[in-house]
Structure 1
């Protein structure tokens, strides 16, 4: 990259990305947003390293006239104003499908944990409630009707796993994909109505906030299971809690929340729910791939080469 004075200046956005600082500092100058850089420093920033689930404020972009790249370390980039980036000529990249397989594993794990009563059974045993006289029956995965919302890399990976488990797979998304072997329903509500398990794996933006409404939960019904590994904002969380408490929805297995981190008190008396703290894609292997993709995008951008995983603006 040449002499240090000629090196690009990167702004790292969130403390959770702090482990990246030594890696980035080998070829770039780096400052951290949480250390409150002054206006002079921000004016020199060439690229932002961002966790895509957080909103990137317009005022921060305005303070960086040299900004030419928003590099999301994450797969998601819903916190980035793509229209603004396009208008300013700022490229946007993300981690591609670096964690898709691990998120798919987690989604299947959530389904099994809830449907086969693994978490509940653990609590039952620890509470001393297991007796010889009574044994709880659970539901088989084989034959279960799985509806997948969003057939990107994660949705396809889940469908492949579900098919191997003898589940019946169908899906819905705003655009048809005729090459897929699984049938697409006419609407989201139709998918919910015909499913035993409804998986949310769609990309989030402002157009689909709250798409899993009370009407969709009612269509899934008192025997249905809602699983979300996408973004918390896709589900009307207040309606979800009410539907679980009333029994109008059979259960939920949730890895993502709105906002995050979620208030644990919100879930204390909510029945039939399995919760994980947004760990679906957080494996050592996936994070390693995300770091490699970030470095590849930075290197290509500052070398004037094609970006390995651009976001289409």
Structure 2
């Protein structure tokens, strides 16, 4: 049987690309010198797609692929994929949930500790030779804090379980209260920000959450407040955050994601009381390999006639299950 034609929008790690090349006829959009000509020639043959969060799949691209059946996305977030356009065509979208939950939750706790205790700043202080002259300044603490989690999904819950070991109070905001947890629920994000002095952002991206954490929420968090974001940069109003950090409206921030990655606002990067990471929440060898295998397995199962393994709820397969 002729191998299925598969579109790869951007490179993945070599083991994943090798696995895809063994099972499919691979067509790489990222190396095509003329994208319009590429899609005109290859588009009608494409039945599957492998992509990641930094390669948007919009309605125009979907329209260029008249025989597309499945989009397998590398990552848990899929806000850069037009799932409405996919669903209208009967195209299934899959993501890679669960396999990265623990890695991102670990990173979130590390980022929180690094921000509260100024670990990167203290490291720079030592390396610059300042310690013999005077001890490093005293820092803030986790003691006595309430951590508010925006988005108590898989990753949010994993973060909350880890936080329990630190003896902090935990609260959350989401679409609805969850009966199987004992954390305090707040029906509004503003209410959560007033109640907490750490706001941990784990909400999905997309139009519904765009700029959700803005000036009013940051003001409610207060001058001792700390913002941590391991979700999507779009959830934060970045200019409002920069202004809040510059004015002392909040204490500090730890960010793994940004609105226009890989570009970080210069005003934000210039601040010394923030910790900034280059979107590395799931970026361990182990987890990225596992995510890649799930991308391959979703495609292999689909074209083997066994359905997708991890379909997102907005596209048709979830409705048929």
TM score, norm. by length of structure 2: 0.91
- The SS at the match of 1:190 is helix
User: 1:49 corresponds to which residue?
Assistant: 50
What's the Cα RMSD here?
A: 1.7
CA 1:135–1:50 in 2, change beyond 3 Å: closer, same or farther? closer
Structure 1 stretches of 5 or more lacking a match?
none
Larger mean CA deviation between 212-221 and 302-311 belongs to 302-311
Counterparts in 2 of 1:33 and 1:119: CA distance versus 1, 3 Å: same
Q: Which among 11, 21, 25 is matched to residue 17 of structure 2? A: 21
Report matched runs for 1:155-174 at 5 Å. Answer: 155-174=156-175
Aligned-partner SS, 2:309: coil
8 Å CA contact 1:227–1:253 kept in 2: the answer is: yes
Provide TM-score, normalisation by structure 1.
0.94
The equivalent of 1:206 in structure 2 is: 207
CA contact (8 A) 1:228 1:256 kept: yes
Aligned twin of 1:145: 146
Match of 1:270 in 2: 271
Shift of 1:59: 1.9
The residue correspondences of 1:217-256 to structure 2 (distance < 5 A) are 217-256=218-257
Secondary structure of the structure 2 residue equivalent to 1:21: helix
Gaps of 5+ in 2: 33-37, 315-321
Q: Could you tell me whether the CA contact under 8 Å between 1:244 and 1:271 is conserved in 2?
A: no
Q: Structure 1 pair 16/25, CA: closer, same or farther in 2 (3 Å)?
A: closer
CA contact (8 A) 2:71 2:94 kept: yes
Shift of 1:233: 0.3
Distance across 1 between alignment mates of 2:62 and 2:128: 53
Larger deviation, residues 194-203 vs 303-312: 303-312
| C-alpha spacing 1:184/1:53, structure 2 compared with 1 (3 Å) | farther
Whole-angstrom CA distance in 2 between matches of 1:203 and 1:233: 9
Q: How far does residue 22 in structure 1 lie from its aligned partner after superposition?
A: 1.3
Structure 2 counterparts to residues 1-313 of structure 1, below 5 A: 3=1, 6-16=2-12, 20-36=16-32, 37-131=38-132, 134-263=135-264, 265-313=266-314
CA distance in 1, matches of 2:305, 2:152: 32
Counterparts of 1:132 and 1:17, CA distance in 2? 46
Give the SS at the match of 1:219.
helix
Provide the rounded CA distance (Å) in 2 between the counterparts of 1:151 and 1:113: 22
Aligned residues: 309
> Which whole-Å CA distance do the structure 1 matches of 2:72 and 2:257 have between them?
22
Quick one: distance in 2 between partners of 1:132 and 1:21? 52
Structure of greater relative contact order (alpha carbons < 8 Å, 6+ residues apart): 2
